[in-house]
């Protein structure tokens, strides 16, 4: 089969479109014929091996432990191991696995769910990692109807889901994004949109019960200025912690600072359970959440897709078609 593989860390030049052996499902595996695979920022980190801390915690010290890139997946069940229930060959599924930038991939049944009936494979592949991250962030914050919620990076992969899910929970949502993306954020339901190139929301009189920061470059002190007295700040990753800690730095500092403030400052480690994929399916089939896809690339152009996303051009998600 064809797949995107890498045998060393580095820029997108290390990726190869190559022939590899088709996987054979084990007793607990689901073999999926991949139709589409989502691209998320984590793919770039796994490709480059940065921050370096991730190498030390199990992703491979000198080279990637997993040769084939990609984690979001949507496709059709080709075969199942003898311990797998209730999925069956022919089922249309979406979820998370290791190595989805390929024509076939083995996945765990507890990381897959039946696809929403109203989505294409490309749309379904755009959901799992980003939408689960948004869902878990809102749950961690114990979001309530009527709360004022600020979402920074509202036009990104996680942000577009966070806006829609927060609205689904009954919140009053303000999205923060750049000038070229304000129309998108309005179109997915934000009650108010702030263009950060023209307005500094941290200097306004508006107080928010909850801030979700998916953009990762504002000091914690500035973000706290926009919170109510007992508001919650959820840090979702970040890119300013340097080569060693990367996006882990700000969430760690937020957690350490939290006991000394009236605010709840939290980092996020999202789960990847199929039960929450089913929750997302309910939101999607009810018309409350719709994946936002900027563009698609064929499998052979995966390197270009990763570069496009990493350079900050994307409005919503980028998807690989297989």
Check which CATH number belongs to the domain holding 168 and give it.
3.40.50.720
Do both 110 and 140 map to the same domain?
A: no
pLDDT of residue 269: 76
Residue 307 is encoded by which pair of tokens?
């570069």
Cβ atoms of residues 133 and 268 within 8 Å: yes
What's the angle, vertex CA 81, arms to CA 300 and CA 91, rounded to 5?
Answer: 60
Structural domain for 139, as ranges:
130-267
Do both 107 and 152 map to the same domain?
A: no
274 inside domain: no
pLDDT of residue 271: 75
Stretches in the chain below the pLDDT threshold 50 = none
Do both 170 and 206 map to the same domain?
A: yes
pLDDT of residue 219: 86
Do both 93 and 217 map to the same domain?
A: no
Check which CATH number belongs to the domain holding 55 and give it.
3.90.180.10
Cβ atoms of residues 293 and 39 within 8 Å: no
Do both 49 and 88 map to the same domain?
A: yes
Dump the DSSP string for 149-171: EEEETTTSHHHHHHHHHHHHTT-
Do both 48 and 158 map to the same domain?
A: no
285 inside domain: no
Half-sphere exposure of 262 (CA within 13 A, CB side): 7
287 inside domain: no
Do both 14 and 95 map to the same domain?
A: yes
pLDDT of residue 245: 61
- Helices 157-168, 128-140: axis angle to 10 degrees equals 50
Q: In sequence order, what are the beta bridge partners of 296? A: 319
3-state helix, strand, coil in the chain (%, to 5): 35, 25, 40
275 inside domain: no
pLDDT of residue 20: 98
234 inside domain: yes
Cβ atoms of residues 36 and 75 within 8 Å: yes
153 inside domain: yes
Half-sphere exposure of 171 (CA within 13 A, CB side): 28
Q: Which residues of 285-315 are buried (b: 16+ CB within 10 A; e: fewer)?
A: eeeebbbbbbebbebeebbebbebbbeeebb
Global pTM? Answer: 0.94
The number of angstroms, rounded, from the C-alpha of 100 to the middle of its chain's C-alpha atoms is 15
Do both 262 and 179 map to the same domain?
A: yes
pLDDT of residue 54: 77
């Amino acid at each position: 089969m064809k797949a995107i593989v890498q045998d060393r860390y580095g820029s997108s030049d290390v990726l190869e479109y190559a022939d590899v052996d088709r996987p054979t499902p084990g007793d607990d595996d689901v073999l999926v014929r991949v139709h589409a695979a989502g691209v998320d920022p984590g793919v770039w980190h796994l490709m480059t091996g940065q921050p370096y801390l991730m190498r030390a915690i199990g992703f491979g010290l000198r080279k990637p432990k997993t040769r084939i890139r990609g984690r979001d997946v949507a496709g059709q069940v080709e075969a199942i191991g003898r311990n797998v229930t209730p999925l069956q060959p022919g089922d249309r599924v979406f979820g998370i696995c290791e190595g989805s930038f390929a024509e076939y991939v083995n996945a765990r049944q507890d990381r897959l769910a039946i696809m929403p009936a109203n989505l294409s494979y490309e749309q379904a592949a755009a959901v799992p990692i980003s939408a689960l991250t948004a869902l878990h962030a809102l749950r961690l914050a114990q979001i309530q109807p009527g709360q004022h919620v600020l979402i920074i990076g509202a036009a990104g992969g996680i942000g577009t889901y966070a806006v829609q899910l927060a609205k689904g929970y009954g919140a009053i949502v303000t999205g923060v994004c750049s000038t070229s993306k304000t129309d998108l954020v309005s179109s997915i339901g934000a009650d108010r949109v702030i263009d950060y190139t023209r307005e500094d929301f941290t200097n306004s009189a508006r107080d928010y019960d909850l801030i979700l920061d998916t953009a990762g470059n504002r000091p914690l002190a500035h973000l706290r200025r926009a919170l109510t007295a007992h508001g919650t700040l959820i840090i979702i990753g970040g890119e300013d912690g340097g080569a060693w800690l990367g996006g882990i730095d700000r969430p760690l500092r937020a957690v350490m600072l939290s006991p000394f403030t009236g605010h709840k400052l939290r980092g996020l480690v999202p789960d990847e359970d199929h039960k929450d994929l089913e929750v997302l399916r309910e939101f999607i089939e009810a018309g409350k959440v719709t994946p936002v896809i900027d563009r698609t690339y064929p499998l052979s152009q995966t390197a270009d897709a990763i570069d496009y996303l990493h350079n900050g051009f994307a409005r919503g998600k980028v998807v690989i078609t297989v």
